[in-house]
Amino acid sequence: MALPAISYSQEEFTLLGANETNRPLVDRIAAGSGISRRHVAVSPLLDDVKRWSTARRMRRYQEEALPLSKDAVATALVETGLDPSHVGLMCVTSSTGYAAPGLDTRLARDVGIAPTVERLLVGHMGCLAAVPALAACANFVRAQRRPAVLVNAELSSLHLQPPPWNTGQQVVNALFGDAVTATVIQPERPAEAGHGLEVVDVVAHTDTEHEDYMSLTVEDHGFRMSVSPRVPDVLERHLRPMLDGLLARHSLGLADVCWWAVHPGGPRILDAAESSLGLPPEALAASRYVLREHGNCASAGLPLVVQELQRRSPLAPEQYGLAMAFGPGLTLYAVLFVGV
């Protein structure tokens, strides 16, 4: 994990765009966000990013994301004892910045990964991208018997939209933070390593009837994010049947799941998951912690929760865990892990 050096509290956020008319609304949104502090590559309190063109935002993404990604990957390689020259696949996931050549090639070059490495970019899938990207890496590792590195590099602070801001945009402004995560996936776990995870299976469900409830569109001033307040209702309807089907494929039930990693999309998202699955409040403590300390970090959010869960209560060998995320489509994704 790598975080931008700049951070600010939700109390400081209320200074952004608040006036005598909307101050009660802004305060109420901040108070109900479940967020205490967020890290940002570009602070709206220091830079007037609101009027930047999309091109300028993409240039800044490259400047900010590369050093953060290098730090995250270098740390992951050291922690897993993997020689960078042995990496067979470099996968970069982002919904907040693109260029070609871009982050994937420059990152591989700068951390010592061989020029023969295969590359994959998973872009513009939103918060859920963490799961299909991980699945692609796991499939590569199983097929090729070579390690992969997955980088989730999200700098949502670059996409603050020009005012005026309606209630929906104020909510978006209050939710998103920046982070970069790096995950190493190997065909065999080193004997000296601690607790690890194996990808068992992945499931997805897309409800196109409600595709307009969540969107990420490219506009002249960056990427506009939109989230309907009705998203939690749709998630609550689909989540349990989707997960029951995934677990049944392996003769498992909800009672066999030892930990739960839910993307920290917001308090109501977590409440909906908790309600749908009949979970006790402590089951999503790690997700609520990540939301409180970092905000919604798009595709980097779920890896942060998994990391926190493994720090708090790592899955023992043969124990199962579920991780899930949601995004435009309206799509739900989940991955079943087993401890190794």
Domains in the chain (CATH in brackets) are: 6-185 (3.40.47.10), 197-339 (3.40.47.10)
Element (H, E) at 64: helix 54-80
Rg (CA), the chain: 19
Q: For residue 86, give the DSSP letter.
A: G
- pLDDT by residue (tens digit) across 213-272? 999 999 999 999 999 999 999 999 999 999 999 999 999 999 999 999 999 999 999 999
CA distance 254 to 257: 6
68 burial level (CB within 10 Å; 0-12, 13-18, 19+): buried
3-state SS assignment for residue 210: helix
Residue 192's pLDDT band (boundaries 50, 70, 90)?
Answer: low
Write down the residue that tokens 């005026």 correspond to.
Answer: 164
pLDDT at 226: 94
State percent of the chain over pLDDT 90: 87
CA distance 41 to 322: 30
Average the pLDDT over each of 149-158, 181-190, 306-315 and give the range with the smallest value.
181-190
Let me know: does 238 contact 205? Beta carbons within 8 Å: yes
- pLDDT by residue (tens digit) across 131-140? 999 999 999 9
pTM, two decimals, is 0.95
Distances, alpha carbon 159 to alpha carbons 61, 91, 136, 232, in Å? 10, 23, 27, 24
- pLDDT by residue (tens digit) across 4-56? 999 999 988 777 766 777 888 888 998 999 999 999 999 888 889 999 999 99
pLDDT at 229: 94
- Which residues of 108-221 form beta strands (DSSP E)? 118-123, 148-154, 179-185, 197-206, 214-219
Instruction: Write out the two tokens for 33.
Output: 């966000």
Mean predicted confidence (pLDDT) in 313-338: 97
pLDDT at 15: 72
Whether residue 159 has pLDDT greater than 90: yes
